[in-house]
Amino acid sequence: MNKKGAPMNIVGVAACTAGIAHTYIAKEKLENAARKRGHKIHMETQGVIGVEDALSSGEIETADVVILATDVSISGKDRFEGKKVVEVPTETVVMSPNKLIEKIEELV
């Protein structure tokens, strides 16, 4: 829950250098950690096969926070202008997804 005790609506993008393993591991770990704490989450991936699970403009608009778990530049970063954005390396997400979600709860 966020500081107000309400579940958060989270969107994000995962992208690693190779665009293969860490991208999908980060996505899965974030989704599991967020859902375990009662939040709604949708993660887009950007990798060697392009964009998958693309975020809609409506999802971005209603998001409380955007998580960018990236090791490389991503396309469409400007979509998140005006939103609370947390940028972390994919390794942080892979190693400590629960702590990351808890930290974000304190910020939002």
User: What amino acid positions are annotated as catalytic residues?
Assistant: 16
- CB burial class (10 A; 0-12, 13-18, 19+) of residue 52? middle
User: Are 100 and 29 in contact, with CB atoms under 8 Å apart?
Assistant: no
With a CB cutoff of 8 Å and minimum separation 6, the contacts of 77 are 68
Instruction: Determine the Cα–Cα distance for residues 46 and 54; give it in Å rounded to an integer.
Output: 9
